[in-house]
Amino acid sequence: MNKKKIFKLAKGFRGRAKNCIRIARERVEKALQYSYRDRRNKKRDMRSLWIERINAGTRLHGVNYGNFMHGLMKENIQLNRKVLSELSMHEPYSFKTLVDVSQNAFPGNKKVDVPPKKEGLAILV
Amino acid sequence: MTTPAVNFSGNVKKALAGLRRINLEGLRWRVFDAKGQVLGRLASQIATVIQGKDKPTYTPYREDGDMCIVLNAKDICVTGRKMTDKFYRWHTGYVGHLKERSLKDQLVKDPTEVIRKAVLRMLPRNKLRDDRDRKLRIFPGGEHPFGDRPIEPYVMPPRKVREMRPRARRALIRAQKKSEQQGDSKTRKGRQNEEAKNELSV
């Protein structure tokens, strides 16, 4: 009866791992370990994906993620990253107002602009 | 830069290669002008655009970056002594046959390879890397055969220069004062070497 359960869980595996019990048992154990670990990893990955999306959305308006979040914290806006990423994808105008709010609260750091000298091929030729 | 295909001298077949494989609907065509840009900084911006990381709809498993056209690849710049001292190395597989070529020679031989290698080495090494390579079109001159598409030029973001460390800053000020005292009679090579030294110390 345990073999039946193992084969049920081994559907879609590659090669002998879906048909032969000795190999299937090992692979299924590993698969269950991975799924345990990845249930925890999924939360991390989703959060980092939200952060990447928010970063892209704010950089369209000239602000980077760090300054944007700092401004939101200052204004005590408690929207979480999941909601912010959804807004940046589907509600661009609302997102723009959030970016403006954040910029009012925290304008950003000062910029220094003295670019160093660079040489192209023309100098050597 | 919107010249029709007739004026384009160069391999039109190579430029249009593999366009059918890319799903082109909804993608923008961004044009980068490499004239006077620093190699790595330009390549990093191109890599971000090609991955699609500047769009809020970025998905890691789906390839959604814009088509990138790079013009004037032969006018790419580097700082320091990299023009003569940066080597591209590769091993042919035979024992002892490590070949190398400097940036200068590579620019003479094929200027598009410099930018292509730089961008490709900045992309993540996964299954989407080849598709992203297909979206990148580099031309050594200033013309491209994609004049009939809706083209958007890419404006590079302003350069964020790191503040200099105090010791390097004092050295720079001392060097500037010395050059002011000695006047403008210094040779051109000497001035270049001094500025190269200043960048190396930054």
Residue A110 has a pLDDT of 64
Q: What is the mean pLDDT of residues A41-47?
A: 96
Distances (CA, A) of B57 to A56, A57, A66, A99, B155: 9, 9, 19, 17, 21
Residues B16 and B112 in one domain: yes
Residues B195 and B141 in one domain: no
Handedness of CA B126, B130, B132, B133 (dihedral sign): positive
What's the pLDDT band for B120 if we cut at 50, 70, 90?
A: very high
Distances (CA, A) of B165 to A63, B44, B169, B173, B201: 26, 25, 6, 12, 9
| Element at A42 (helix H, strand E) | helix A21-59
Residue B182 has a pLDDT of 86
Residues B145 and B197 in one domain: no
Residues B106 and B36 in one domain: yes
* A93: closest CA of chain B, how far (Å): 13
Residues B133 and B186 in one domain: no
Q: Is residue B1's pLDDT more than 50?
A: no
- DSSP bridge pairs for B71: B33
Phi, psi of B120 (to 5 degrees): -65, -35
Q: Please give the Cα distance from B109 to B105 (Å, whole number).
A: 6
Q: What domain count does chain B have? A: 2
Nearest to A116 among B74, B104, B199 (CB): B199
Residues of chain B in contact with residue A119, where contact means CB-CB under 8 angstroms, are 77-79, 83, 192
Q: Is residue B15's pLDDT more than 80?
A: no
Has residue B158 been placed in a domain?
no
- DSSP bridge pairs for B87: B102
Q: Is residue A124's pLDDT more than 80?
A: no
Has residue B160 been placed in a domain?
no
Residues B79 and B131 in one domain: yes
Has residue B1 been placed in a domain?
no
Whole-prediction pTM:
0.77
Residues B130 and B179 in one domain: no
Has residue B71 been placed in a domain?
yes
Residues B176 and B148 in one domain: no
Residues B149 and B170 in one domain: no
* B160: closest CA of chain A, how far (Å): 7
Q: Please give the Cα distance from B35 to B163 (Å, whole number).
A: 26
A–B: how many Cβ contacts below 8 A?
Answer: 70
Has residue B57 been placed in a domain?
yes
Phi, psi of B78 (to 5 degrees): -135, 155
Where residue B84 sits, what CATH number does that domain have?
3.90.1180.10
Q: pLDDT (tens digit, 9 = 90+) per residue, A68-83?
A: 999 999 999 888 889 9
Residues B101 and B63 in one domain: yes
Residues B81 and B113 in one domain: yes
Burial B43-70 (b: 16+ CB within 10 A, else e): bebbbbbbbbbbbbebeeeebebbbbbb
| ipTM, two decimals | 0.77
Q: What range does the domain containing B71 cover?
A: 12-153
Has residue B5 been placed in a domain?
no
Q: Is residue A30's pLDDT more than 70?
A: yes
